[in-house]
Amino acid sequence: MSTKQWSREELQKVNASLEGRSPQEVLKWVADNFDVKEFALASSFAECVLIDMLVKIEPQARVFYIDTGLLFSETLDVVKRVEEKYGIKVERFAPVLTLEQMEVEYGPELWKKEPDRCCLLRKVNVMTEALKGFKLWITGLRREESASRKDAPVVGWDEKFGLIKVNPIAAWSKKEVWDYVHKHDVPYNALLDKGYTSIGCAPCTMPVKPGEDERSGRWAGKGKTECGLHK
């Protein structure tokens, strides 16, 4: 494994050097500077462009997802199709509390009453465990998705989880994502053909209206656009 510790100043320089470069060049920087056991890609299994790019650069790279117990069946279907297409095993991480236990402790449908607490229990706490031992994680976050993501760096330090965070397609538009999907026959979530533009848990995700930002269908009416993983 690599022993180098990256300072915030070094990461700022790396970020500046990779701004405007292709996602593949960003992923190549990761593969060249970190042992394959030191990083992983977290996927929501919407458009799987980063999985397609990463396995072509580093076939042994780890890919994982958080299974909240409330995911759409369409999302779980994409996991299977990705495994079949790329010959990889996607790692699954799940909450300690089952949905039944959560209902006993917090009452029914916690996501309606306290969506922030539900996200903490079923996503953020799980991600904290999933990222233990890693030096870097890769996400599909894009700036144009919402106002809360408009300043996302390509490479930066993740204060919440205490490791390097890389967003290779931060500067990409929705069109660029779909151009890549179609060109490379990348698996994607069937809900994206039905008006959904951001895929999360089934009870808290809706299709969006024309002109709305991509994450407006998440926790609609709750004044919430992030689960806590990125903000």
CATH number of domain containing 88 = 3.40.50.620
Asked if 118 is an active-site residue, the reply is no
User: Does residue 33 form part of some domain?
Assistant: yes
Q: What is the distance in angstroms between the CA of the first residue and the CA of the last residue of the chain?
A: 30
Catalytic pick from 48, 118, 201, 227?
A: 227
Q: Which domain holds residue 62?
A: 8-204
Q: What is the pLDDT of residues 20-67, one digit of tens each?
A: 999 999 999 999 999 999 999 999 999 999 999 999 999 999 999 999
Angle between helices 49-57 and 23-33 in degrees, nearest 10:
50
Mean of per-residue pLDDT scores for the chain: 92
Whole-prediction pTM value? 0.92
93 part of a folded domain: yes
Residue position matching structure tokens 């292709």: 22
pLDDT one-digit tens code per residue, 99-122: 999 999 999 999 999 999 999 999
For residue 1, pLDDT over 60 is answered with no
Number of domains in the chain: 1
Answer whether residue 190 is part of any domain: yes
27, HSE (Cβ side, Cα atoms, 13 Å): 24
Q: Using an 8 Å Cβ cutoff, are 111 and 218 in contact?
A: no
Cα–Cα distance for residue pair 228/225, rounded to 1 Å = 9
